[in-house]
Chains A and B, each alone.
Chain A
Amino acid sequence: MTDSVMTRLDPNSRAAARGWSDLTIRNLFIIPTIAFLIIFNIFPLLYSLGYSFTDFRASTNAPAKFIGLQNYRELLNDEFIWRNFTITAKYVIVSVAGQVIVGFGLAMLLNRDIPMKGLITTLLLLPMMLSMAVVGLFWKLLYDPSFGIINYALGLGKFEWLADPDMALYAIAITDIWMWSPFVMLLSLAGLSAVPKHLYEAAEIDRAGPFYTFFRITLPLVLPILMIAIIFRTMEAFKTFDLAYIMASQPTTELISIRLYKMAFLEWQTGKSSAFAYIVLVMVVAITNIYVKYLNKVKER
């Protein structure tokens, strides 16, 4: 069956001279990828699922004991864990909402004939291309209470952005917004330029004002692609680790992934952290599913 869709091997080729068939070559290309996926993705996934039902600790030689759903029961009843979830939710909402507002706004500004549009777009995309760790370290310097440029520019004196327990999470979210708004901008720009010009002319003829045109024409037509940007950014924000880990170590900035890291590699509760990772996985899949359902509904129109 697979042979029928494959391109036949050129009988004069070197491969044919060595006696290789189409099938051999196909397998040569595919087997390394499959092996890689199985060894590094699928096997650990299943293995950690097994661990999540045990009290295994990777730091000791004690044999793992099967304890059923106890890890899950403990985690879901742990109020500190729920605090981590609340912090993460707050972070995701602020960060993604900020990125959508800033990114879409930039896209609206760029979606017209302006001089040096290409250059401006490229420059705006730069933050996205930096490494998370580098961005975190730089913004730590920018936020610095004594010599940081942000306090200097805003005239805030010695305001402690990252040491202030109420502010730290938002400071990290601002950095994330700075870094990832260009991503939303890029997708929005693609969506905006795909709206046919003649629809705006029709709206103008139909006497629609700028706001009415935006909410009734522009936004609905860009929504499908904007939703894709939001799905990506939500998933990414949900599993943020490096940025928050580098920038602050407040209890108020302890995102799920940081809690998970501590549980697994500082406390060495391997079994319990496997269960935790599975809970997070289920949540991310569930949230993504809600978005995808909505996206499909939007796309139907």
Chain B
Amino acid sequence: MAEIALRDVQKFFGPNQVIKDMNLVIEDGEFIVMLGQSGCGKTTTLRAIAGLETVTEGTITIDGEEVQDRRAADRDIAFVFQSFSLYPHMTVYENIAFPLRAVGMSTEERDREVREVAEVLRITPLLDRRPSALSGGDMQRVAIGRALVRRPKALLMDEPIGALDAKLREEMRAEIKRLHMARNSTSVYVTHDQIEAMSLADRIVIMHDGVLQQIGAPDEVYLRPANLFVAQFVGSPVMNVEPVQLSANGDGAHVHLAGDGTGFHFDEGLLSAVPRDAGRVSLGIRPEAVHLSHEESAGALGGVTTNIEPLGSHDIVDVRIGEARLRARTPAGFVAAEGAPVWVSLDTGEAHFFDNETGLALREAH
């Protein structure tokens, strides 16, 4: 097991810079998930750690040793490919034994290791099959087995369950979590699926356009997004982001949505953190922090529902306030029909403000 560190890593493919100033320290035994849209550089970063891609600049260290110029074979890391990459002409047993045979481990020792891993992954009955006779989930189990069998310094996974169907993904997600708990191996996992990221990660690394956006525990990136991109990328349904105008009022701050005169009432402290200039700031608020009520109450703004998405356990309701539109999460069937008048209040503790130009989150000084 090992600590992995990336310092000032840059990567160019021709004129395109796919990794920009990447700095990241992965602690020993940590489960890191790299999250981002396709083409954001997350897979390239993973492949650079593995040694399947060279970096243009910067250093990569594993346990303090610089490895950026070493071949993948000399870095002692394991890699699980999205396409599984099982050797088609070998049985499951031979596939798992391959990395051990490649370094010349004795037959008895090899056999013991392979069977132990197969037992952990529950694929012992499949050992004599060929990969073509396996289901997608079993193929992935074998691929993970092949990665784990030689006890690598780190386990890198490139969207390992992206090719599976939804139900199997859920199952494999739990399995990967269980394996990580049991083996406590340093793991880096790449995915574009935020549910996978949230459920697996010790820390999530969010990337966009080759730039690291935020590193943090799942609840941290969810509750305290560093910028607009993270705010809108993490969480489903997507966070509401609306341009707002602030005004001071005797008892505190008022946050006005476009075309709304009254404004939501916030604590006075907000005024020191968020500029009052017109058009500079956006309010970000998750649908679950938008509360709807059928009766008027103090501080609530009147609005009209425009769309209802019933999702079984809850509904997502679109509400128009002035010219702005907010989405709220309500109990199932709370709003009977579109066009109904409702009263909207916000959970001000969960509101975020972003600078429209830089996209950075604006926070009150603590």
Contact = CB atoms under 8 A, between A and B. Distances in A.
Given A206-B146, A220-B89, A201 B52 contact: yes
A204 B85 contact: no
Interface stretch (B69-77, B172-180, B237-245, B298-306): B69-77
A203 B87 CA distance: 9
Contacts of B77: 205
B73 A201 contact: no
B130 interface: yes
Interface string A182-218: 0000000000000010110111111111001000110
Contact of A199 (B87, B99, B146): B87
A35 B77 CA distance: 67
Contacts of B51: 204
Contacts of B81: 198, 201-202
Given A198-B81, A221-B88, A204 B130 contact: no
Nearest to B78: A205
B89 A209 contact: no
A208 B87 contact: no
B79 A202 contact: yes
Contacts of A199: 85, 87
Given A199-B87, A221-B89, A205 B73 contact: yes
Interface in B6-35: none
Contacts of B71: 204
A202 B73 contact: no
Nearest to A204: B72
Most chain A beta carbons < 10 A, residue from B71, B101, B102: B102
A301 B99 CA distance: 20
B102 A201 contact: no
A202 B85 contact: yes
B334 interface: no
Contacts of A205: 50, 52, 72-73, 77-79, 99
B52 A208 contact: no
Interface string B61-101: 00000000001110011110101010111000000001101
B188 to A, nearest CB: 14
Interface residues of A, dominant DSSP: helix
B102 A217 contact: no
A217 B87 CA distance: 7
Nearest to B47: A201
B311 interface: no
Contact of B87 (A201, A202, A204): A202
A204 B89 contact: no
Interface string B178-215: 00000000000000000000000000000000000000
B166 interface: no
Given A205-B77, A206-B146, A198 B99 contact: no
Give the interface size bracket for B toward A: 20 to 34
Nearest to B146: A206
B137 to A, nearest CB: 19
Most chain B beta carbons < 10 A, residue from A206, A207, A208, A221: A206
Interface in A50-97: none
B103 interface: yes
A220 B90 CA distance: 10
Contacts of B83: 196, 198
A208 B85 contact: no
B52 A204 contact: yes
A216 B78 contact: no
Given A201-B81, A202-B79, A301-B130, A208 B102 contact: yes
A204 B47 CA distance: 12
Contacts of B50: 205
Contact of A207 (B85, B87, B88, B102): B102
B130 A208 contact: no
Nearest to A298: B89
Nearest to A201: B52
Contacts of A202: 79, 81, 85, 87, 146
A205 B103 CA distance: 12
A298 to B, nearest CB: 9
Nearest to A199: B85
Contacts of A301: 88-89, 130
Nearest to A219: B89
B52 to A, nearest CB: 6
Given A207-B73, A207-B99, A209-B102, A201 B85 contact: yes
Interface in A156-189: none
B130 A206 contact: no
Give the residue among A196, A202, A212 with the most B Cβ atoms within 10 A: A202
B334 to A, nearest CB: 50
Nearest to B103: A207
B62 to A, nearest CB: 14
Contacts of A201: 52, 72, 79, 81, 85
Interface in B30-67: 50-52
Contacts of B146: 202, 206
Contacts of A208: 73, 98-99, 102
B72 A198 contact: no
19 contacts: A196-B85, A198-B81, A198-B83, A201-B52, A201-B79, A202-B79, A202-B85, A204-B52, A204-B71, A205-B72, A205-B99, A206-B99, A206-B146, A207-B76, A207-B99, A212-B102, A216-B87, A301-B88, A301-B130
- By Cβ-Cβ distance, the 8 closest A-B pairs, closest first, are A206-B99, A208-B102, A202-B85, A207-B73, A301-B89, A205-B79, A198-B85, A204-B72
Given A205-B50, A216-B87, 6 more contacts: A198-B83, A198-B85, A199-B87, A205-B73, A209-B102, A216-B101
